[in-house]
Amino acid sequence: MNEDSVWLGRFRGVVRQTAIASAGLTLLVFAILVFNKAFLGSGVGVHEMLRPEGGVLAKTFMLLLAFTLLIGSIYFSDNKGAIEPDKSGFFDVVSLICSRVAMVAVIFIEIAMLYEVISRYVFARPTLWANEMTLWIASFLFLLAGLYAMQQRSHIRIFIIYEMFPRWAKKAADTVSVSLIVIFTTCLVWGGFNEAVDKFNRFERFGTAWDPPIPATVKPAILIIITLVCIQAISNLIADWNKEDVKHTPADEIDQTEIENIRKTLEERS
């Protein structure tokens, strides 16, 4: 059970069982909401979820969904992807958990888009919430993807000049790069903190028919996740400080795992 564990170790099984139980309870509450809406006419839909008329059951579902997403992301962060490097920094676990949240967010976007297409073009009943829901989730997805890219060291880097440096000069260049990230983050948080707090306190909404609190949640999320990116950059610098010098070539950009998967797919179709 623990052989392939990245960081949970002996708690891996407990987290897995908790995730399964939470997912089952969430599906049960969702089924009750669907039954009430379809057969009793007293249920709530997505449009009412974020409003007072949503009621206790809707709020319970939202809380269970959030907890399931969190505990599921914790569990899946304990699995190392085929192209992911080994965990090395003190902040890597947080970034890996957030990356799993982003991965699940893609599924929610696809579900919302599929529901809207079917509802609009098959039943001629377009939704009031699908577009804003997709935009809302995508906002967090893009932010969390940046954090994951920093942890994976997959952000854009130009090695032409960097590779000419001796090891001490590379360390100096890395230190300057991280220092610039820290300065940028400090300026961004300093300049945007009051506005983010104001939007959250007013619970500013989007001004559409569904009217979700996108400004109230996305603006603080920008500052929080940018701060996490900054911490991850510092974690990378510390983790890489004493590593052996690695020479990068264009061949490093070739994803052998992806090439192998494409080859298998082509073989199966032929």
Determine the pLDDT at residue 79.
92
Token couple for 160:
């032409």
Q: Return mean pLDDT, the chain.
A: 89
Question: What is the band of 1 on the pLDDT scale with cuts at 50, 70, 90?
Answer: very low
220-239 tens-digit pLDDT: 999 999 999 999 999 999 99
| Domain assignment present for 55 | yes
> Is residue 199 included in any domain, yes or no?
no
pLDDT one-digit tens code per residue, 55-114 = 788 889 999 999 999 999 999 999 988 788 889 999 999 999 999 999 999 999 999 999
The dihedral built from the CA positions of residue 142, 147, 150 and 154, taken in this order, carries a sign that is negative
pLDDT at residue 269 greater than cutoff 80: no
- Please check whether residue 186 lies inside any domain of the structure: no
Q: What is the mean pLDDT of residues 213-219?
A: 95
Distance CA 268, CA 141 (A): 33
Number of separate domains in the chain? 1
In angstroms, rounded to a whole number, what is the distance separating the alpha carbons of residues 50 and 34? 16
pTM check: above 0.75: yes
pLDDT surpasses 80 at 54: no
Model confidence at 252, pLDDT cuts 50, 70, 90, reads low
Nearest Cα to 101, choosing from 152, 140, 154, 49? 140
Identify whether 219 is part of a domain: no
- Whether 42 is covered by a domain: the verdict is yes
Return the pLDDT at 3.
55
Does 270 have pLDDT greater than 80?
no
Q: Which domain holds residue 25?
A: 1-79
Note whether 227 and 146 are within 8 A (CB). Answer: no
φ, ψ for residue 86, nearest 5 deg: -65, 145
Handedness of CA 168, 171, 177, 178 (dihedral sign): negative
Backbone dihedral angles phi then psi of residue 41, each to the nearest 5 degrees? 70, 15
Question: What does the pLDDT read at residue 205?
Answer: 93
Identify the pLDDT of residue 249.
64
- The model's confidence at residue 52, banded by pLDDT at 50, 70 and 90, is low
Given a contact cutoff of 8 angstroms between Cβ atoms, the answer to whether 7 and 87 are in contact is: yes
Q: Which two tokens stand for residue 117?
A: 């297409």
pLDDT tens-digit series, residues 144-183: 999 999 999 887 777 778 888 899 999 999 999 999 999 9
Residues in the chain, how many?
270
Residue 75 belongs to some domain of the structure: yes
